[in-house]
Each structure stands twice: as structure tokens, then as C-alpha cells.
Structure 1
Amino acid sequence: MDQAERIERFLAARYPRAGIAIVAGSTARGERTPTSDIDLLLIDDDLFADVSQVSEAATHAFEDEIFEVFAYTVEGFREWADRGVAQHRPVIAHMLVEGAAIRSRTRWSAVLALGSVLSETESRIRRYVITDLLDDLQDATDPLEQRVVAGLLFERMAELMLLSSGQWIGSGKWLPRRLRAWSPERADQLSTPLLAGDFPGFAARVDEELTMAGGRVQAGFVR
């Protein structure tokens, strides 16, 4: 069944006042799997019956599909999109710019094109966290502790690699996807020893990436 027709029926049933509707994620890219949901971004000042409401994140079941809805008034969208940019993870701005059936994407296209800006203060905080995790991994002997710390270290290091290069970050599956899209080679160099369970090799690669990002931060660090 045509997904566009199903989405229109969903909107008519659940969000009839939505003036702007953007289909994002795997549905927009034509990469759906059997478990994929349908991601929708909705923007309209008359979207909610309660005039004081400015945003809503909701999950709906409709015609054997799961819809993940991110709904905003115009001001609500600006507030949450600006918050995402400040956190280097502009999820809804990406939905707006990269999604399908969009009416206006000019402002946020420009914002995303500028890339993320990592301040020296935040860089030092992130490098301090990575330094601490790296020491924990190198000291760990318990197999479970090694895996937990290594997983955290991969996330923090991947984020710093992206941010240090002006890239946006993501959470969950989007973090490795953004890392691979930015540099397949460095993503592979970081992930290969981790996937192989080679924790000394993984720690060595993290140390190399940390050096390129500005180096270890430890003694004398003040938060």
C-alpha cells in the first residue's frame, strides 16, 4: 500500500490541523525494514486544541503501522531545534531539512550547513571524560567492566571526533552512521578492535584520536 496515502489518512484521523508534515527516517529514504516505524515531523500554530501546548512527542498505532510523531507550533519547533543545535544533535532540524514532502526548509538548511561549533571549554570537558574512561579501560580486568567501559568510551570518542571536525552527532544507531558518513576509514579504525574484543588495541586507537583532538586532560582540570 502506498505509504503516502496511509500517512494522509493518519493525519486526517489524528492531526487534522497539521499544516506542514515531513516524513523522515527510513521511510523517506526508501530503506524501511519489517520493524521500521514512520517518523513524522508536524509544524503548525493551530496544531493543538490546547493553545498553551507548543510541542508533543507521541507514538501511535494506525493501520498496522507505528507512527513516531514529533509535533510543534512554529515557536515550539524553533525552541527545540535551537536546543538541538546547542547540544550538537539537531535531530528535528535534520528531519526538516532531509525529510520528504517538506514546504519550507531554508533557515534550517543554512544552520545545518554551518556545522557544529565545539568550544574550547566543552572540548576540554569531553577530553577529560575520555581520559578518565581510557584509564578505567586500561586498568579493567573484569570482562563485563571492560565491555561496559569500552562501549561508553566509543560513544564519547566518536562524538569528539565528529564535533572536532564541525560535524553533528547522533545518539544510538545514528552515532556510528554519522561517524561512517564523515570518515569511513577512521570509523573503521576506531570500531574494528572494539568489535574484535581487542581492548588494548581499542584503547591505543582512542589514545591516537584523543591526541588529534587536543590531547589528554587530567591534572589541573577545573570544572
Structure 2
Amino acid sequence: MDQAERVERFLAERYPHAGIAIVAGSTAREERTHTSDIDLLLIDDGLFADEAQVSEAATHEFEGEIFEVFAYTTEGFREWADRGVAQHRPVILHMLVEGIPVRSTTGFGELRAQWDAVLAAGPVLSERESLLRRHVITDLLDDLQDATDPLEQHVVAGLLFERMAELMLLVGRQWIGSGKWLPRRLRAWSPERADRLSTPLLAGDFPGLAARVGQELELAGGRVQAGFVR
């Protein structure tokens, strides 16, 4: 990782007490572009001057690079990691497990192994959440099939793709993502099903998208409409 020395200089200036520091994202994967920032996960009980503070998400400019910092005390990390797991989108756990450590403590290996097991197990979709997600998709599907305004069609189609992709992943015990990470996770899990869902969307084929979503919805348990109580 060619950014290691710059990262260490940044830490020395901005977060000198960080015991655990992990570079994640495109920098760790060596897939940087001209707009890439440096994602940095920090964990240490001595990070903040205010003893009541347990977390911080901050953007810094340093030596011409943008650093996106996610900093936590030990308890703060556990709290936010649990929250991410409950939401099926544990971003900081992926950073911890998949990133490159540039600083570590004696307990780092154990911490990483603990949360790696959680990631490997995958999310659990409750029956209640399944019903709610299928209800939302059912409504969006009907909206798309009824829409005639081109702007409405494009907006609803985008939302429908997102909600269906999330449900497909969750039924398959896969973590979801937001933005660019949703299609990436869908493709990593099943390139074929990702392609079948995305092809009509990219072509502006709204009837084709509706048909494909209907097929995936049946695989996930079917439509939910009349009788559903939120």
C-alpha cells in the first residue's frame, strides 16, 4: 500500500493515540481512482479529549488527500457494529475484517476474529421484516406498472431495483450495501441474477423490469398486500 507513510503522518498529527488503525476501501484494495479518498477506521479508548465521546465520523484534508475517518472507543465500536448488523449493513465490520492494519494492539487479532465470524454468518431476515419489505416492493411494482410519466417511471424503477436487490441478498443470507455497494454485493453473490435484474433497468425496459422483479418476489415469498398490518 503506497499510502502507508502518508497515513502514518496523518495519524501522528491528527490521531496520535490511535492504537488500532485500519486502511479500508479502494486504497486497501489498490483500486484508487482520481476521486478516491482514504477510508480509515480507528479504535482506541484514548482517542477523544472528551471522555463522554465514543465515536466520530470526520472528513480531513491532509497532504492533498481526503481522509474519511471513522473513529471509536472500544465500547463505541461495539455499539455501532451491533447497529450495523441489526440494519444488515455492517460497514465498519467490513473495514475491520477486510482492511489493511497500519497500527494494531495485542487484542486486535481477537477482535478481528470475533467480528469476522459475525460477518461470515450473514444477516438474519425476520419474518416480520420479510413481510414489510415484500409489501414495499409490491406497492412499488404496482406503481411502476401504472406509471406513464417518464420521470416517475425512472424514479420508481430505481427504487424498485434497490428494494428488490436488498431482499434478494437478505434471503440469501448476504449483507446489503448502499450506493455503489448494493450492485457490487449483488454481483458478488450471484452474477447471473444480478444481470437478469439489472439488464431491463439499464435498457429502460420497465415492463421487463417489472416482470423480473415479479419473478424474484415470488422466490422471496410472494406479494404482500391485502391484510398486511404495519
Give the TM interval when normalised to the shorter protein: over 0.9
TM-superposition CA deviations, 1:198-222 (whole Å, max 9, x none): 0000000000000000000001001
Of 175, 183, 194, the match for 1:187: 194
**1:42 alignment partner, SS class:** strand
- State how far apart, in whole Å, the 1-side matches of 2:48 and 2:11 are: 13
Instruction: Name 1:20's counterpart in structure 2.
Output: 20
For residue 194 of structure 1, report the CA deviation from its aligned partner: 0.4
Task: Return the letter of the residue paired with 2:194.
Answer: A
Task: Return the letter of the residue paired with 2:48.
Answer: F
Alignment length (residue pairs) = 223
TM-superposition CA deviations, 1:104-157 (whole Å, max 9, x none): 311100100110100010000000000000000000000000000000000000
Of 121, 144, 157, the match for 2:164: 157
Spell out the pairing of 1:91-106 with structure 2 (5 A cutoff): 91-101=91-101, 103-104=108-109, 105-106=112-113
TM-superposition CA deviations, 1:2-23 (whole Å, max 9, x none): 3100000000010011000000
Unaligned runs of 5+ in 1: none
Identity %: 84
Cα root mean square deviation, aligned: 0.9
For residue 169 of structure 1, report the CA deviation from its aligned partner: 0.2
TM-superposition CA deviations, 1:134-185 (whole Å, max 9, x none): 0000000000000000000000000000000100000000000000000000
Task: Return the letter of the residue paired with 2:33.
Answer: T
User: Bigger shift: 101-110 or 182-191?
Assistant: 101-110
- State how far apart, in whole Å, the 1-side matches of 2:62 and 2:191 are: 38
**1:13 alignment partner, SS class:** helix
Q: TM-score, normalised by structure 1?
A: 0.99
- State how far apart, in whole Å, the 2-side matches of 1:128 and 1:145 are: 20
Runs of 4+ deviating beyond 2 Å: none
**2:31 alignment partner, SS class:** coil
